Structure 1
Amino acid sequence: MRSWLALLAAILLAACSGGADRDVTVVVPPGASLKAAANILEKQGAIGSASGFLRHAKIFGSSEPIKPGEYEIKAGMDNGDVLALLQSGRTKQRFVIIPEGTPSVVVADKLMAADFLVGNVAVPAEGSVLPDAYPYTRGEQRSAVLKRMQGAMAKALSKAWADRKPNTVVRSPEEAVILASIVEKETSKASERRTVAGVYSNRVRIGMRLQADPTVIYPVTRGRPLGRRILKSELLADNGYNTYAKSGLPVGPIANPGKASIEAVLNPAPTRALYFVADGTGGHVFADTLEQHNANVQKWYALRRSRGEM
């Protein structure tokens, strides 16, 4: 009896013990058997021994098969925890993060630079990607991740358009993305997003030129930083995007706007303002008249001179 109990105790101890004293990432290839997975786990230091892991699986494990993928084995997980993880299919998630206002050339850059994605991807249509953090798994196609990004934009845009308010000046979802991309580039402060949208909506409504610097830069860099002052020739260029050269919206988006900016142009703030200029704190000061705006501009210049920026 004692020998039998001692043997059982030894089996239980080996079966329930773990092996990882640190976090370990392990890849279980498609088609791998439990035995093959156990050998991989032991080699990577995720478990104490393959034989102990297999004994645990035989005595205590369920009949659920293990699933292939990349798993993060946390320090302190025992054999039971590891087996349950492999059977759950809760693979390690990696993320491609697309901030609001990211141009499509940078979206493509981020996808191509993402570790363990495979395949190539072309630069997507500007404004077709919804900024967000997108999870992916090791070995996934870049084109599949991009498809999710574009599907998310289509879904968000459809919902926002259905909820649009009567005071919006845009006539289609496509126009909403165009104007939202300008709003996205003009302010990073959530508290003033709808007011900036209101200013541009007022300008569109009365046929006044938007005069948004980011629309001048876009044809030159496709959304990448300009790295210098805008040239006079660029302010005069009539290329379909330059809102100094003509009134109305540009021919297309200049970035990928987030949901908040899309919602802002579809429900702009009720304001009479037609102008705004930086206030030195990361936000803007708004004005209804050109006289008020010019005074605000002079205050901004004075602040910049005091900072040694002019």
Structure 2
Amino acid sequence: MWRHIASNALTFLVVLVFLFGGALIWAKNQYTGQGPLTGAICVKVERGTNFRKVSNDLADQGAVSNGAIFRVGADYAGKTQDLKAGSYLVPEGASMADIVDIVTRGGASTCGTEVVYRIGINRASIQVRELDPATERFVEKAEFVPGVDEVPEDYTRVRSQNDTRYRIALAEGVTSWHVVDGLKAVDVLTGTADAIPAEGSLAPDSYEVRVGDTVASVLDRMQSSQERILSEAWANRVDGLPLQTPDEALILASIIEKETGVAEERRQVASVFVNRLERGMRLQTDPTVIYGITKGEGVLGRGLRQSELRRETPWNTYVIDGLPPTPIANPGKASIEAALDPANTNYVFFVADGTGGHAFAETLAEHNANVAKWRKIEADQGN
């Protein structure tokens, strides 16, 4: 009888072992296998929260099938103490293991709200955007011009949240004065600029910043980025250019930047100026004349007068030979690359064509015909 009891007990123990092993395999598959999400979601991890609260939120949103397995898996991976506050994008079908990694790896929030401080040529504005998890695209919630428009409630709300992301976006062609002036409205930054950086030395781009960053540190990042872009483009320049130094390339790039907003035209515009430099022709470009008047501070806001086209300044390329002494704006990467790899053309003239682009010409006769067409378009638009 005792042998029979022992045999039954052993059998029962074996069954328990198999059941336990099967449960472990099932739990592991639940933890590492594809999750139940049928669409991406944003998960917000509050500062000071714990894995139990996070697992409950995830279960409520249908991101995990079992909160207990999620917590046990995180504990087994040694990550229960590594929660990072923020808002995180959890993609469709993410496993529990994936989600644990997302909420513990740290770094900037990948979901939720961001504030973009836009510094443009004509104005600076502040934009509030929220990520739509379904499309993974940001949707504008509010935009205003600081000091002009009323501050929207959305901005006040997101500024009080600790997971809001902040970016500064510089438009191509802004002057260094515009940048320094625009940074005054970036209320997450501290300090002020010691001086206006050299014209052309700041890279137009998008820069993520954190509350408490200094204005000086942001300007340093912009300058370092432009130095890298210029250095790489100069190293890859084509042979035979009438440019002796990277500084000259930066000057030409700034003129290209101000002359066209059409990306496909940059290398053609560059070819016009390169051809003129090679032939000893004056560049004769209006943006340089404007810079000689404004010095990059503000916007002229009107057309040029004939007297201004004739007035001698270091930047008036109708009067001076060759390049002006400094850039006239901060050119973007594409314009720098165009200056150092222009299209292979014989163009020496261009004029607006009425479509937002330009008509190019090799001879004065062709150019005069293009100018006549543009004058007619201007006259028709004025009627």
How far, CA to CA, are the matches of 1:81 and 1:112 in structure 2? 41
Sort the Cα spacing of 1:198 and 1:147 in 2 relative to 1 into closer, same or farther, 3 A. same
Aligned partner letter, 2:189: V
Deviation at 1:249, TM superposition (A): 0.5
Deviation at 1:247, TM superposition (A): 1.2
**Residue of structure 2 in register with 1:154 after alignment:** 227
Question: Which sits farther off after the overlay, 56-65 or 241-250?
Answer: 56-65
How far, CA to CA, are the matches of 2:237 and 2:370 in structure 1? 32
Contact 1:223–1:254 (8 Å) recurs in 2: no
Deviation at 1:121, TM superposition (A): 3.9
Decide which of 262, 270, 285 is 1:189's aligned counterpart: 262
Decide which of 278, 281, 290 is 2:364's aligned counterpart: 290
Contact 1:275–1:287 (8 Å) recurs in 2: yes
Secondary structure of 2:360's aligned partner: strand
- Structure 1 residue 304 and structure 2 residue 378: aligned? yes
Matches within 5 A, 1:55-204: 60-61=74-75, 62-64=77-79, 65-66=81-82, 70-72=86-88, 84-92=101-109, 94=165, 95-114=167-186, 117-122=188-193, 123-204=196-277
**Residue of structure 2 in register with 1:280 after alignment:** 354
**Residue of structure 2 in register with 1:217 after alignment:** 290
How far, CA to CA, are the matches of 2:71 and 2:220 in structure 1? 39
Sort the Cα spacing of 1:37 and 1:240 in 2 relative to 1 into closer, same or farther, 3 A. farther
Contact 2:200–2:329 (8 Å) recurs in 1: yes
How far, CA to CA, are the matches of 2:73 and 2:356 in structure 1? 63
Sort the Cα spacing of 1:112 and 1:37 in 2 relative to 1 into closer, same or farther, 3 A. farther
Sort the Cα spacing of 1:141 and 1:75 in 2 relative to 1 into closer, same or farther, 3 A. farther
Deviation at 1:80, TM superposition (A): 8.7
Please say which structure displays the higher CA radius of gyration: 2
Q: What RMSD, in angstroms, separates the aligned Cα atoms of the two structures?
A: 4.1
How far, CA to CA, are the matches of 1:294 and 1:26 in structure 2? 65
How far, CA to CA, are the matches of 2:363 and 2:202 in structure 1? 36
Question: Which sits farther off after the overlay, 127-136 or 106-115?
Answer: 106-115
Decide which of 338, 360, 364 is 1:264's aligned counterpart: 338
Secondary structure of 1:170's aligned partner: coil
% identical equivalent positions: 43
Q: How many residues align?
A: 292
Aligned partner letter, 1:120: G
Sort the Cα spacing of 1:168 and 1:144 in 2 relative to 1 into closer, same or farther, 3 A. same
Deviation at 1:282, TM superposition (A): 0.9
Q: Hey, which of these two has a bigger chunk of strand by percent?
A: 2
Q: What is the CA deviation profile of residues 258-283 of structure 1, one whole-angstrom value per residue up to 9, with x for unaligned ones? A: 12211111122222221110000111
* Long gaps (5+) in structure 2: 1-30, 32-40, 61-66, 111-164
**Residue of structure 1 in register with 2:281 after alignment:** 208
What's the TM-score once normalised by structure 1's chain length? 0.75
What's the TM-score once normalised by structure 2's chain length? 0.62
Contact 1:69–1:138 (8 Å) recurs in 2: no
Question: Which sits farther off after the overlay, 127-136 or 159-168?
Answer: 127-136
Contact 1:216–1:234 (8 Å) recurs in 2: yes
Contact 2:74–2:100 (8 Å) recurs in 1: no
Contact 2:282–2:318 (8 Å) recurs in 1: yes
Query: Which of the pair has the greater relative contact order for Cα pairs under 8 Å at 6+ separation?
Result: 1
Deviation at 1:257, TM superposition (A): 1.0
Contact 2:273–2:348 (8 Å) recurs in 1: yes
* Long gaps (5+) in structure 1: 1-15, 17-21, 29-35
How far, CA to CA, are the matches of 1:47 and 1:253 in structure 2? 57
Deviation at 1:27, TM superposition (A): 7.0
Contact 2:88–2:102 (8 Å) recurs in 1: no
How far, CA to CA, are the matches of 1:245 and 1:136 in structure 2? 43
Deviation at 1:172, TM superposition (A): 0.5
Contact 2:203–2:331 (8 Å) recurs in 1: yes
Contact 2:192–2:214 (8 Å) recurs in 1: no
